[in-house]
Amino acid sequence: MTFNIYKNKNKVTNIDADYVSVPGMSVLTSTVIKEGESLGLIYGFETDGVFRTQQEIDYYESLNPDHSYQEGTTGKNTIPGDLKYVDQNGDGWVNIATNAKDDRVVLGCSRPDFEGGLSTRLSWKGLTLSIQSSFAFGHEKYWQAGTRQFQFNASEPLNVLDIALKRWTPENPDSNYPAMRLNNYANEVTDFGVYDASYWKIQNINLDYRLPQSVLDKLKVFNNVILSISANNVYTFTDYPGPSPESFSSDMIEGGSIDYSTYPQTRSFNFGIKVTL
């Protein structure tokens, strides 16, 4: 059995100013590089549940006469069931403008506390069983598709997951999931989409069977015959809700912080015969 574990420790030692990533094709402002901190920080808005009533919204709207409390990137008006962003700097409104740092905070870090692998090889008579697995613990990831389960685009309708059934509605006023929005995408990164991405993945299980020497002696044809069966991408133990906790963004800065729903790896089964004449 081999077991290895390691910690990738990193720290940004010098940067002129916080660098906030703005991927080219979207209005997301999703990660930040900060001096004295690790790379891989997820950056966005802390939320405090959803707005429950119009009275509650009216109160928040009264806090700053110059601004509506939280104006989304599409300029939508807040309605009951919308996520409530936290005003971090206490000026009575949430500045959602791209690159605005007034109310954005670090929501998590995509760098695991520990990573490693565990593999084992067991032999008994002609049988050899080997199992390979890997793990990563203590990190977060932004599941972008998760937030999209509560938004519906009439021109590009997509299926949504059953999590959408838990959404806030006037009949389900205690829900902590936001109301469904039509054609009003809120693109801001919030802690609502940030999840623990710890996992333990069984990558491969392989079983070999070597024909006994007595059988080979009888056949008088082969020197060695090994039958093998293996499974790849066997199972991942995780609480992460997306298809894969290993999913990542191809954006160089965002890297493992943002899960744009990479197509999950397939599970495969192989059967083989290795013959030595």
**Total Cβ atoms within 10 A of residue 121:** 12
Site for Ca ion (CB under 5 A): which residue of 18, 37, 71, 91? 91
Pick between residue 75 and residue 157 the one whose CB is nearest to Ca ion: 75
- Report d(CA 79, CA 70) in Å as an integer: 11
* Positive/negative CA dihedral, 238, 144, 178, 99: positive
Contact 21, 31 (CB under 8 A): yes
Q: What binding mask, one character per residue, do residues 103-132 give for Ca ion by CB under 5 A, x or -?
A: x-----------------------------
CA distances from 270 to 132, 232, 233 (A): 16, 8, 12
How many residues of this chain bind Ca ion (CB under 5 A)? 5
Q: Which stretch binds Ca ion (CB under 5 A): 6-14, 74-82, 89-97, 230-238?
A: 89-97
Residue 168 CB-density burial (10 A; 0-12 exposed, 13-18 middle, 19+ buried): buried
Beta bridge partners of 50: 83
Pick between residue 52 and residue 67 the one whose CB is nearest to Ca ion: 67
Pick between residue 140 and residue 188 the one whose CB is nearest to Ca ion: 188
Sorted by sequence, the CB contacts under 8 Å of residue 275 that are 6+ apart come out as: 222, 224, 225
> Residues 68 to 87: which contact Ca ion by CB under 5 A?
87
| Interaction between residue 46 and Ca ion (CB under 5 A) | no
Pick between residue 71 and residue 102 the one whose CB is nearest to Ca ion: 102
Q: Which stretch binds Ca ion (CB under 5 A): 8-16, 43-51, 97-105, 258-266?
A: 97-105
State the nearest-atom distance from the C-beta of 166 to Ca ion, in Å: 29
| Interaction between residue 99 and Ca ion (CB under 5 A) | no
State the nearest-atom distance from the C-beta of 189 to Ca ion, in Å: 16
State the nearest-atom distance from the C-beta of 95 to Ca ion, in Å: 5
Closest by CA position to 45, among listed 192, 249, 240: 192
State the nearest-atom distance from the C-beta of 204 to Ca ion, in Å: 50
Collapse the DSSP code of 234 into the 3-class scheme (helix H, G, I; strand E, B; otherwise coil) and give the result.
strand
Residues that bind Ca ion (CB under 5 A): 87, 89, 91, 102-103
